[in-house]
């Protein structure tokens, strides 16, 4: 099993973070529970090791010995990245497997997303959010293969190397998710707690028109909704006037265009209700708060990523004065009345 | 205005911007000079206590007394002034709070909560723990005894009757050897009537604030752990009990259903006024049968006061018994809904199931270490909540409706005996002056002379009526004196819905009007979700409800349970007072209408017919015209 290079994500697929990477394992978990995830396959960490394991190991050893404060450090990273990228061209066996898998996934050439999925990401301690590359609206087998190689090499961008140093991660391996592209009318993220207060009784949704990437990279101010997890009530609704959206087409990447109905909310109440259900189910399945990326296409909501919520899950919710040890409601009443 | 200019303005008038006017700087309206004689001296501001009173933050008690007080009705304020204070301060030793002090200014009631000295907190906490703990542990049996005590009070005042005194005493005085004249008994009965109200208020606060403390604790407990939770969700974990307060409405539903069974629904639907409806009903056997049921239901279920906001606050507003048009309109609405195939019964089982689901799921979201405490406090909150809702029926409705009815009997008897020109004159006398008048009448009756009352009071009552009208014409200032930096006194927040935010909103409104600008945005509490726009219909009394048309937005001081017919028609509601648990908020949520409650000055600011937008999600009212 550990020899698999290509793993189609199906309800029966097993596999863990070490093999599928954080993003791939999250998607596999959702697909096992028959949640709405666009069809995808993962180029496993085994494929990464087969293709570029030796040069990556050399590069890791070399970078380990360098001082990150050295002005030449950026240059060392760039060289490491180029070295891994070039070395991957020789792994023809693995590259052919990727091309064949792509043909099965996207026979009509509608386009795919190629996303990095490293073994260390989303581990609960370090999210690696935005540290690795993703490519949207990729079309054609050659382009897909090239983007997978770029993701492998992306382990050695300067920011990714520095991030690993800061979080104490050594010897990462890169899986890559290739997934049918969602032609998103709207997209966003949801968190099954309030990231500001740590309140676990709410689901916070942020959304934009078009693809979700400008939201993640903070290029567009999103609409923001706070939903009561238990009652479904929409507690807060902060919609902003969005004038442009990111969209795209197969093989031509992404482009900006005007929003047809600026000022309208990017999500309907019915979509918010469905997102609340999905968020609750994901959180129940994970056993801890999660954050989720989603996209809306027609009347369907697709889940694109799930990962453990990293801030509050590590620190726990805001500390509360412990309930008085002496049992009995009167002590609680007293504690409330005498609180300053 | 540029931001810089507005900054300068703010610095300029910083001192007066952050406080409300002193009660000593507020003048009587033109023509209302001498208004002080309408009220008891101990209820007034005075130079002798200026130093103390000028440093306190006073707010107009629009929750209970939004209108200018009649001199006689001052007793209503006095009942709770004393009883709330005694039970907070002296009986239960509520740790942070003494009583709520009162003053009357320009005819309006102002209140200020008195904090307990911080150094007493620990000692008071220990006393409160033992005393309130005893009540919490024995709540159900104490509440059962409470009902007996209050119903005994009701029985006592119901039995009192005030009639013109007889020329010759009945034979029973002699042959049953009662040894008491009717004149003496009239004096005694008035005294009993008043004393029984005072007694009732002991019971009112025997349980109310201890109950509120538990309810408030539950709110705080949940809110601390779930900072984003809405008050509405918290209250749904507690409410939904089948309490007696809903019974009057349930009786009207029952009468609607019975009317349909008897085949007389059309008479109710077509009727325009009670007299013609009752005449039409009396023409048939079925109609007479329904009338009998209606009359039987009246006592006690139509002993319902219609004051906007706090029921029974004054003698002015009619009860359902006084104005059968009110309950008849509700029955008519239920008949209409029955014919439209609608479900008119409250879905009690559904509300309870939802209550348990919500509290169960929130419990699961808690830290496991907090779950036992949650179980204890939610159970206590539910236990006390029945009282918090039900006492309103027993005291605010039944007791006060009966008290005002008996007072009106007395005023008619005094008028018939020549002590007053008009029954309404009595309400322009202070309670102690009524006692004096009674003595005058009884003495005159006893000796076979003429009472001095009518001649004595005529010029005084005439002057007071004039003052009263002038006072009424001028809306009260909302608050006086320096507000505390932060309002965290639990009962101010819980009972009056006055918060740090609402006080700064009042200050902001004051600045706006001081600068000669119009207020176009009012902020209150988001009482019921949704957004609606429409023409405003400003309604101050139950009588004005008849002007409301479909699609109007009801703007009122507060609503009352007896206003229920209007909620089938309006598009949204705005009330000046009330919090999330106010009647307005609860009913609007039931009807799915947007509501902003506690909007402060909506009645005085919004003109009838103006287009307004009500945002029940954010608590904002915008004047669009």
pLDDT in tens, B72-114: 999 999 999 999 999 999 999 998 889 999 999 999 999 998 9
CB contacts under 8 A, B 125-144 vs A, are: 125, 128-129, 132-133, 136
A226: contact with B, CB 8 A cutoff: yes
Q: Are A159 and A131 in contact (CB under 8 A)?
A: yes
**Around Cβ B55, how many Cβ atoms within 10 Å?**
10
**Residue B592 in domain:** yes
What does the alpha-carbon distance between residue B472 and residue B66 come to, in Å, rounded to a whole number? 11
Per-residue CA distances from B35 to A193, B237, B310 (Å): 58, 47, 24
Please tell me the least confidently modeled range out of A185-199, B305-319, B571-585. B571-585
Number of domains in chain B: 1
- Residue A128 in this model has a pLDDT that exceeds 60: yes
Does the beta carbon of B224 lie under 8 angstroms from any beta carbon of chain A?
yes
- Write the ipTM: 0.75
- pLDDT value at position B1? 32
CB-CB under 8 Å, B228 with A199? yes
**Most confident stretch, B134-148, B218-232, B558-572:** B134-148
Whether A231 sits inside 8 A of B233 (CB atoms) is: yes
- How close B320 gets to chain A, by Cα (Å)? 37
The reply to whether residue B133 touches residue A231, judged by beta carbons under 8 angstroms, is: no
Top pLDDT among B581 and B112 is at B112
pLDDT band at residue B4, thresholds of 50, 70 and 90? very low
Query: Is it the case that residue A326 has pLDDT exceeding 70?
Result: no
DSSP assignment string, B84-110: HHIIIIIIS--SSEEEEEEEEETTEEE
- Residue pair A302/A188 in contact (Cβ under 8 Å)? The answer is no
Contact B556, B317 (CB under 8 A): no
Looking at beta carbons, which residues of chain B come within 8 Å of A322?
A: 369
Cα separations (Å) of B464 from A228, B28, B179, B192, B452? 55, 14, 40, 27, 19
* Domain annotation covers residue B589: yes
- Would you state the structure tokens that stand for residue A159, as one six-digit string? 């920011």
Q: In the numeric block, which tokens belong to residue A26?
A: 């999250």
Asked if residue B562 belongs to a domain, the reply is yes
Q: Which residue has the tokens 């599928």?
A: A20
pLDDT at B8: 34
Q: Which two tokens stand for residue A280?
A: 């609750």
Mean pLDDT of B198-226: 93
User: A203, A239, A330, A338: which to substitute to probe chain B, counting the most B Cβ within 10 Å?
Assistant: A330
Mean pLDDT value of segment B275-298: 95
Within 8 A by CB and 6+ apart from B237, the residues are B218, B222, B355, B358, B359, B362, B378, B381
Q: Is B230 on the interface with A (CB under 8 A)?
A: yes
Test A337 with B490 for CB contact under 8 angstroms: yes
Three-class secondary structure of residue A135 per DSSP: strand
Q: Which among B96, B370, B380 has the least Cβ separation from residue A338? A: B96
CATH, residue B577: 3.50.30.10
Helix (H) or strand (E) holding A169: none
Q: What is the three-class DSSP state of B367?
A: coil
Residue A153 Cα, gap to closest chain B Cα (Å): 42
Q: Which of A230, A234, A339 sits opposite B362 (nearest CB)?
A: A230
pLDDT at B96: 84
Interface test with chain A among B134, B217, B234, by most A beta carbons within 10 Å? B217
Q: Is residue B543 part of a domain?
A: yes
**Residue B360, token pair as written in the block:** 């169960």
CA nearest A330 in B: which residue?
B133
Class of domain A186-315: alpha beta
Residue B149 contacts by C-beta under 8 Å, 6 or more apart in sequence? B203
Per CATH, which fold does A6-180 belong to? Answer: Dna Ligase; domain 1 (3.30.1490)
**Number of Cβ atoms within 10 Å of the Cβ of B364:** 11
For residue B593, pLDDT beyond 70: yes
Spell out which residues of chain A touch residue B380, defining contact as CB-CB under 8 Å.
329, 333
Does the beta-carbon distance from B490 to A336 stay under 8 Å?
yes
Other C-beta atoms closer than 10 Å to the C-beta of B188 total: 13
Query: Is A235 at the interface with chain B, CB within 8 A?
Result: yes
Q: Is B550 within a domain?
A: yes
All CATH 3.30.1490.20 domain ranges in chain A, comma separated? 6-180
Mean pLDDT of A152-158: 90
Instruction: Give the residue, A165 or A283, on which the prediction is more confident.
Output: A283
Query: A313-325 as b/e, with b when 16 or more CB fall inside 10 Å?
Result: beeebeeeeebee
B356 interfaces chain A, CB cutoff of 8 Å: no
**Alpha-carbon gap: A333 to the closest alpha carbon of chain B (Å):** 5
- The pLDDT value given to residue A321: 56
**Cβ within 8 Å of residue B169, ≥6 positions away:** B181, B182
Which residue blocks in chain A are alpha helix, DSSP H?
17-32, 45-64, 73-88, 92-105, 141-153, 158-167, 213-216, 269-286, 311-315, 329-338
Contacts of A193 (CB under 8 A, 6+ apart): A199, A200, A202, A203, A204, A289, A309, A312, A317
Q: What is the rounded average pLDDT for all residues in chain B?
A: 89
Residues B171, B106 contacting (CB under 8 angstroms): no
The residues in B 306-325 lying below 8 A from A, measured between CB atoms, are: none
| pLDDT at residue B581 tops 70 | no
Using only the alpha carbons of chain A, give its radius of gyration.
Answer: 22
> Which DSSP string do the residues of B308-327 spell out, in sequence order?
SSSTTSSSSSPBTTT-THHH
Least confident range of B237-246, B264-273, B337-346, B448-457: B237-246
Q: By CA distance, what is B486's nearest residue in A? A: A340
Instruction: Kindly report the backbone phi and psi dihedral angles of residue B417, in degrees, each rounded to the nearest multiple of 5, phi listed first.
Output: -90, 10
DSSP conformational letter for B366? S
What b/e string do you get for A255-292 counting C-beta neighbours within 10 Å, with b at 16 or more? eeeebeeeeebbbeeebbebbbebbbebbeebeebbbb
Q: Using a CB-CB distance cutoff of 8 angstroms, which residues of chain A are in contact with residue B232?
A: 233
Q: A12 is written with which tokens?
A: 């029966």
Tell me the range of A187-196, B176-185, B384-393, B486-495 where mean pLDDT is highest.
Answer: B176-185
**Nearest CB to A333; choose among B214, B232, B233:** B214
Contact B426, B72 (CB under 8 A): yes
- Confidence at residue B7, expressed as pLDDT on a 0 to 100 scale: 35
The beta-carbon neighbor of B213 closest among A230, A322, A337 is: A337
Judged against a pLDDT cut of 50, whether residue B293 lies above it is answered with yes
Which one is predicted more confidently, B459 or A240?
Answer: B459
> What mean pLDDT is predicted for residues A162-188?
89
Are the beta carbons of B365 and A235 separated by less than 8 Å?
A: no
A contacts of B617 (beta carbons < 8 Å): 234, 236-237
Q: What is the pLDDT of residues A5-64, one digit of tens each?
A: 999 999 988 878 889 998 999 999 999 999 999 999 999 999 999 999 899 999 888 888
Report the residue of chain B nearest A319, measured CA to CA.
Answer: B225
B580–A contact, CB cutoff 8 A: no
- Mind telling me how many Å the CA of A307 is from chain B's nearest CA? 19
Domain with CATH 3.30.470.20 in chain A: 186-315
Strands B572-575, B595-597: parallel, antiparallel or unpaired by DSSP?
Answer: parallel
Label residue B568 by pLDDT band (50, 70, 90). Answer: confident
Of A194, A330, A339, the CB nearest to B129: A330
Does A194 contact chain B (CB < 8 Å)?
A: yes
How many other CB atoms are there within 10 angstroms of residue A8's CB atom? 15
Nearest-CA distance A74 → chain B (Å): 44
Mean per-residue pLDDT of chain A: 87
Write out the two tokens for A182. 């969602």
pLDDT over threshold 50, residue B38:
yes
pLDDT one-digit tens code per residue, B332-341 = 989 998 999 9
Alpha-carbon distance of B209 to B216, in angstroms, equals 10
Task: Give CA–CA dist B362/A201, Å, rounded.
Answer: 7
Location of structure tokens 């007493």: B120
CB contact under 8 A, A201 and B372: no
- Tell me the nearest-neighbour CA distance from B133 into chain A, angstroms: 5
Provide the 3-class DSSP secondary structure of residue A210. Answer: strand
For residues A220 and A198, the answer to whether their CB atoms sit within 8 Å is no
Calpha distance B321→B325 (Å, rounded): 9
Q: How confident is the model at residue A316 (pLDDT cuts 50, 70, 90)?
A: low
* Whether B225 and A197 lie within 8 Å, measured CB to CB: no
Span B352-372, pLDDT tens digits = 888 999 999 999 999 888 999
**What is d(CA B213, CA B281) in angstroms, rounded to the nearest whole number?**
50
Size of interface A-B (CB pairs under 8 A): 109
Give the DSSP H/E element, type plus range, for residue B411.
helix B400-416
Is the distance from CB of B113 to CB of B100 less than 8 angstroms?
yes
- Taking a C-beta distance cutoff of 8 angstroms, is the pair A149, A89 a contact? yes
Contacts of B519 (CB under 8 A, 6+ apart): B509, B512, B513, B601, B605, B623
Domain that holds residue B524: 519-623
- When CB atoms are compared, the residue of A226, A235, A336 closest to B216 is A336
Q: Look at A200 and B362 and tell me if their CB atoms are within 8 Å.
A: no
Q: Any bridge partners for residue A308, and if so which?
A: A290
Backbone angles phi, psi at B67, to 5 degrees: -110, 165
Smallest Cα–Cα separation from B539: which of B568, B567, B572, B575? B575
Quote the CA–CA distance of B284 and B290 in Å, as a whole number: 10
Contacts of B137 (CB under 8 A, 6+ apart): none
B524/B512 Cα distance (integer angstroms): 17
CB contact under 8 A, A329 and B376: yes
Residue among B216, B221, B617 whose CB faces A237 most closely: B617
DSSP, residue by residue, B96-146: SEEEEEEEEETTEEEEEEEEPPGGGHHHHHHHHHHHHHHHHHTHHHHHHHH
Q: Write down how long chain B is.
A: 625
Q: Which residues pair with B101 in a beta bridge?
A: B112
Task: Flag whether pLDDT at B69 surpasses 90.
Answer: yes
**Cβ <8 Å between A323 and B373:** yes
Q: What are phi and psi of A40, to 5 degrees?
A: -160, 160
Longest dimension (CA), chain A: 74
Three-state DSSP class for A115? strand
How would residue A1 be classed by pLDDT, with cut points 50, 70 and 90? Answer: very low
Neighbours of B169 (CB within 10 A): 14
Q: Which residues of B touch A332 (CB under 8 A)?
A: 217, 221, 373, 376-377
Q: Does residue B536 lie in a domain region?
A: yes
Q: Which chain B residues touch A229 with a CB distance below 8 Å?
A: 361, 365
């Amino acid at each position: 099993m550990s020899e698999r290079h290509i793993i189609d994500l199906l309800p029966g697929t097993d596999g863990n973070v070490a093999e599928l990477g954080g993003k791939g394992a999250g998607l596999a978990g959702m697909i096992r529970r028959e949640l709405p995830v666009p069809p995808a396959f993962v180029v496993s960490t085994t494929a990464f090791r087969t293709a570029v394991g030796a040069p990556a190991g050399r590069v890791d050893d070399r970078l380990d010995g360098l001082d990150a404060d050295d002005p030449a450090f950026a240059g060392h990273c760039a060289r490491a990245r180029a070295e891994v990228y070039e070395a991957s061209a020789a792994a023809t066996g693995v590259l052919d497997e990727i091309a064949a898998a792509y043909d099965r996934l996207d026979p009509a050439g509608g386009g795919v997303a190629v996303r990095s999925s490293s073994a260390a990401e989303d581990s609960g301690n370090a999210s690696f959010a935005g540290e690795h590359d993703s490519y949207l609206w990729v079309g054609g087998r050659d382009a897909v293969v090239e983007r997978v190689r770029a993701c492998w090499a992306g382990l050695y961008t300067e920011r990714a190397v520095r991030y690993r140093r800061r979080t104490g991660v050594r010897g990462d391996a890169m899986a890559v998710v290739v997934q049918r592209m969602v032609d998103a009318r709207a997209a966003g993220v949801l968190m099954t707690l309030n990231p500001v207060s740590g309140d676990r009784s709410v689901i916070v949704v942020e959304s934009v028109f078009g693809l979700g990437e400008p939201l993640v990279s903070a290029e567009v101010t999103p609409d923001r909704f706070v939903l009561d997890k238990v009652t479904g009530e929409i507690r807060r609704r902060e919609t902003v006037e969005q004038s442009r959206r990111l969209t795209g087409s197969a093989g031509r990447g992404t482009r900006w265009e005007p929003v047809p109905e600026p000022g309208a909310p990017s999500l309907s109440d019915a979509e918010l209700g469905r997102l609340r259900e999905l968020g609750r189910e994901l959180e129940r399945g994970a056993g801890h708060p999660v954050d989720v990326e989603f996209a809306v296409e027609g009347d369907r909501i697709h889940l694109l990523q799930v990962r453990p919520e990293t801030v509050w899950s590590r620190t726990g919710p805001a500390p509360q004065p412990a309930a008085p040890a002496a049992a009995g409601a009167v002590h609680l009443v007293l504690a409330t009345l005498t609180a300053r | 205005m540029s931001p810089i200019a507005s900054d300068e303005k703010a610095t300029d008038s910083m001192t007066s911007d952050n406080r409300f006017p002193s009660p000593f700087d507020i003048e009587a309206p033109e023509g209302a000079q001498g208004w002080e004689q309408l009220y008891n001296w101990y209820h007034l501001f005075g130079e002798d206590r200026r130093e103390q009173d000028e440093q306190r933050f006073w707010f107009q008690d629009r929750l209970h007394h939004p209108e200018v007080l009649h001199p006689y009705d001052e007793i209503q304020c006095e009942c709770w002034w004393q009883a709330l204070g005694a039970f907070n301060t002296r009986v239960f030793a509520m740790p942070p709070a003494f009583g709520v002090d009162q003053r009357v200014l320009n005819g309006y009631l102002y209140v200020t909560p008195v904090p307990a000295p911080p150094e007493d907190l620990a000692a008071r906490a220990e006393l409160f723990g033992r005393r309130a703990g005893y009540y919490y542990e024995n709540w159900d049996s104490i509440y059962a005894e409470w009902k007996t005590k209050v119903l005994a009070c009701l029985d006592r005042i119901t039995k009192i009757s005030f009639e013109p005194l007889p020329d010759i005493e009945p034979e029973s005085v002699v042959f049953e050897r009662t040894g008491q004249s009717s004149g003496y008994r009239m004096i005694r009965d008035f005294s009993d009537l008043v004393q029984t109200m005072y007694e009732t208020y002991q019971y009112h606060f025997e349980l109310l604030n201890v109950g509120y403390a538990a309810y408030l604790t539950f709110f705080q407990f949940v809110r601390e752990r779930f900072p984003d939770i809405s008050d509405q969700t918290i209250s749904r974990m507690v409410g939904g009990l089948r309490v007696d307060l809903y019974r009057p409405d349930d009786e009207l539903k029952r009468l609607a259903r019975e009317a349909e069974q008897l085949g007389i629904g059309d008479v109710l639907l077509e009727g325009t006024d009670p007299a013609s409806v009752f005449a039409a009903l009396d023409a048939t056997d079925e109609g007479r049968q329904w009338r009998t049921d209606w009359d039987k239901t009246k006592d006690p279920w139509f002993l319902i006061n219609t004051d906007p906001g706090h029921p029974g606050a004054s003698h002015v507003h009619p009860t359902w018994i006084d104005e059968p048009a009110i309950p008849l309109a509700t029955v008519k609405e239920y008949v209409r809904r029955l014919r439209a195939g609608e479900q008119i019964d409250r879905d009690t089982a559904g509300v309870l199931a939802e209550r348990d689901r919500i509290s169960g799921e929130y419990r699961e979201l808690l830290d496991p270490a907090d779950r036992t405490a949650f179980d204890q406090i939610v159970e206590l909150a539910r236990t006390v909540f029945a009282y918090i809702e039900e006492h309103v029926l027993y005291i605010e409705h039944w007791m006060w409706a009966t008290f005002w009815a008996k007072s009106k009997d007395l005023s008619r008897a005094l008028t018939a005996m020549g002590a007053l020109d008009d029954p309404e004159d009595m309400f322009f006398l202070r309670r102690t002056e009524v006692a004096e008048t009674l003595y005058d009448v009884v003495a005159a009756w006893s000796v076979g002379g003429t009472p001095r009352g009518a001649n004595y009071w005529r010029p005084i009552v005439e002057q007071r009526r004039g003052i009263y009208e002038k006072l009424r014409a001028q809306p009260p200032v909302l608050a006086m004196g320096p507000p505390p930096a932060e309002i965290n006194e639990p009962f101010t927040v819980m009972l009056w819905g006055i918060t740090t935010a609402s006080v700064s909103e009042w200050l902001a409104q004051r600045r706006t009007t001081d600068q000669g600008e119009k207020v176009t945005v009012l902020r209150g509490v988001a009482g019921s979700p949704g957004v609606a726009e429409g023409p405003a219909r400003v309604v101050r009394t139950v009588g004005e409800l008849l002007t409301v048309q479909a699609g109007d937005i009801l703007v009122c001081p507060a609503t009352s349970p007896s206003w229920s017919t209007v909620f089938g028609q309006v598009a949204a509601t705005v009330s000046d007072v009330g919090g999330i648990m106010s009647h307005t908020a609860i009913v609007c949520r039931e009807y799915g209408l947007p509501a902003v409650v506690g909007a402060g000055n909506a009645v005085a600011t919004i003109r009838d017919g103006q287009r307004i937008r009500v945002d029940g999600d954010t608590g904002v009212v915008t004047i669009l015209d």
